[in-house]
Structure 1
Amino acid sequence: MKNTFLAILLVSVIGLFAFQSEPEKRTNKNKEIEWLSITEAYKLNQKEPRKIFVDVYTNWCGWCKKMDKETFTDPEVVDIVNEKFYAVKLNAENRDLIIMNGDTTTQQMIARSMGVTGYPTIVYIKEDFQTIQPVPGYQNAKKFKDTLEKILAWK
């Protein structure tokens, strides 16, 4: 009886330690891009200016989903984006009203004003909130990292 109790106690303690250390491992392996709304990025940019990249997508876009799954989960991409950019997801078909800097607009209107005509399109924006360039089409992680580095060098 005493041995059974000790065995159960030992298994319980080991299980407790296993569950405590597992989330830390998961966090380190599965880094994610810290996505913001356009208004959140605008507000943060007022306090700490950074370049912004806007992922303009639609819910039905297969290539958008492929970028989400493959490009935006690449650990090197995640590190560069989270350290050097504000990352924004913008649904080009969303018509919900947004108030930004005193103006009322929609995600759809913002996408159009950036010259987006296809999906996915990544729009790069300078620290002063002026558009650098929209880049249409799917980009794998390597190509996307190269583009991010070029944008960071942009003055």
Structure 2
Amino acid sequence: MNKIFLFISFALISITTQAQEIKWMSFNEAVKAQKKNKKPIFIDVYTAWCGPCKILDKKTFSNPETAKFINDNYNAVKFDAEGNEEIVFNKMTYKNPGYKPERKNSRNAMHEFTGFLKIQGYPSMVVINNKGQIQKTIVGFKTSEELKKEL
């Protein structure tokens, strides 16, 4: 009986924990999802070397209320501004031709999509509406409360 209770308790804790995390996807996945659910796309634009980006992850995005708010209202994307992901958006393909794999955990070349988003600093968060237009750009670390007010 104790084993069944422990199993059920563990399962419930796992479900609760999962429900409190942002469901991040690639940008290409978010574009597909947006066609079905019409939610705006929320993009966390970060780099591997950005300290405030890591604090944003640890303090803001891990907040259960913030995670629920973003999951309920947006298709959430984590986008490495210096990464090597190929992005297809509005009939354009964006790449990072200067990307160097050996530098993936430090400063690297800027991705073409970062330029399209007109990113000025890190972290930045961008909202793209369901018409494919940049609706809002939020620059810098934000607390959960500040981010919800901005969104």
Q: Where does residue 136 of structure 1 map in the other structure?
A: 139
- The answer as to 2:62 corresponding to 1:62 is no
Q: Where does residue 80 of structure 1 map in the other structure?
A: 69
Q: Where does residue 23 of structure 1 map in the other structure?
A: 11
> SS of the counterpart of 1:36?
coil
Structure 1: tracts of 5 or more residues without a match: 1-12, 149-155
- TM superposition score normalised by structure 1: 0.79
> SS of the counterpart of 1:22?
helix
Structure 2: tracts of 5 or more residues without a match: 97-110
Structure-2 separation of matches of 1:119 and 1:65: 10
Are the counterparts in 1 of residues 38 and 130 from structure 2 also a CA contact under 8 Å?
yes
- The answer as to 2:125 corresponding to 1:127 is no
Displacement of 1:136 in angstroms is: 0.8
Report the identity percentage.
34
> SS of the counterpart of 1:139?
coil
Amino acid at match of 1:103: M
Structure-2 separation of matches of 1:128 and 1:60: 32
Q: Where does residue 152 of structure 1 map in the other structure?
A: none
> SS of the counterpart of 2:122?
coil
Structure-1 separation of matches of 2:35 and 2:14: 33
> SS of the counterpart of 1:54?
strand
Structure-2 separation of matches of 1:117 and 1:57: 12
Summarize the Cα distance change of 1:132–1:143 in structure 2 as closer, same or farther, 3 Å threshold: same
Of stretches 84-93 and 96-105 in structure 1, the one that deviates more from structure 2 is 96-105
Summarize the Cα distance change of 1:24–1:65 in structure 2 as closer, same or farther, 3 Å threshold: same
The CA deviation string for residues 25-60 of structure 1, in whole angstroms up to 9 with x for no partner, is 233145100101110111111122111111000011
Greater helix percent: which structure? Answer: 1
